Structure formats: structure tokens, C-alpha cells
Amino acid sequence: MVVVLGADAATIAPALAGLTSVAMVINPDWESGLASSLAVGLSAFLADDSCEAVLVTLADQPLVDGAALRRLIAPFDDEHRIVASAYDDTIGVPALFGREHFDDLIRLTGDRGAGSWLRARQNEVTRVPLYSAAFDIDRPSDVARLR
């Protein structure tokens, strides 16, 4: 597992330091937007030829659990190479991308991440209803809604 750290890397890194299955990579260009973090994370897998796909998740979707991710991974095969969460009349992350899409995703720029890329390829995307992904934490008031 690769965790991409940015603005608060110095604060978050110690919490991950003891996890042997977690590799941390720093995005020095985090201020340029989500796409740069996606590129840094995907680049960490390019050297591993055995990596067939990457599951992209976000830390601000606390209701997405292991069961939800397993449902997302299940349809991935040779014919379904892009699998994305479907919620709130959109498709987005978490999403699973076959290796053949890494180069396109690495070239994305700005603060849109993979969402706009997915929506531009709707006919290629296998959608998995994942309503837990609709809730994300952007403000302190969002945390209060968890209780």
C-alpha cells in the first residue's frame, strides 16, 4: 500500500511509520491539486511490473470500509479494466484502474483528480454502487455528522 502525503506530511507520517505494509511517498507539489498526488502515488507502482492495477482511495471518505472495497474490486478482470464507485449521480473514487491507464492518469493536472477522467470515459467504466463514498470530510462540521 502506498500513502501519498502532502500538506501535513510531518504530522501524519509518524502515525504510519510502524505499519510495515505501508509505503509513504511525499507529494512536494501538493498545492497544485489532487492530480499531482495521484501522479506521485501511481509513479510509485510503475517500477513494479507485477502491479496489474491500482485501487485509488481517499482518506476523507471514512465510511468506505474493507467490505465496500472488496465489492469494488470484485468485477475487475481482463474485460473490466476501470471500476469506479457510483454515488450521488456520479462516478468517482474509490476506483480501480488497470495498469494500461497509469500513463494517462499521471498526466492529469489540477485539482480534479481522476473524477473528470472517469466521467470522460463513462462507456469504459464498470460502476459499482458505493453510497458510503458519497460522504467525505471537508470541514470540521462534517466530522460532527459522523456521530
Per-residue pLDDT at 64: 96
Residues whose CB is less than 8 angstroms from the CB of residue 88 and which lie 6 or more positions away in sequence, other chains included: 134
Q: What is the pLDDT of residue 142?
A: 85
Q: What is the pLDDT of residue 146?
A: 79
Question: What is the per-residue pLDDT for 43?
Answer: 94
- In this prediction, residue 58 carries a pLDDT of 92
- The closest alpha carbon to 115, from 140, 137, 133, belongs to 133
Taking the C-alpha atoms of residue 42 and residue 102, their distance in angstroms, rounded to an integer, is: 7
Mean per-residue pLDDT pooled into runs of 10, the chain (147 residues): 94 93 94 95 92 95 96 98 96 97 95 90 96 91 82
Which residue from 135, 80, 86, 79 is spatially nearest to 115, judged by alpha carbons? 86
Q: How far apart are the first and last CA of the chain?
A: 29
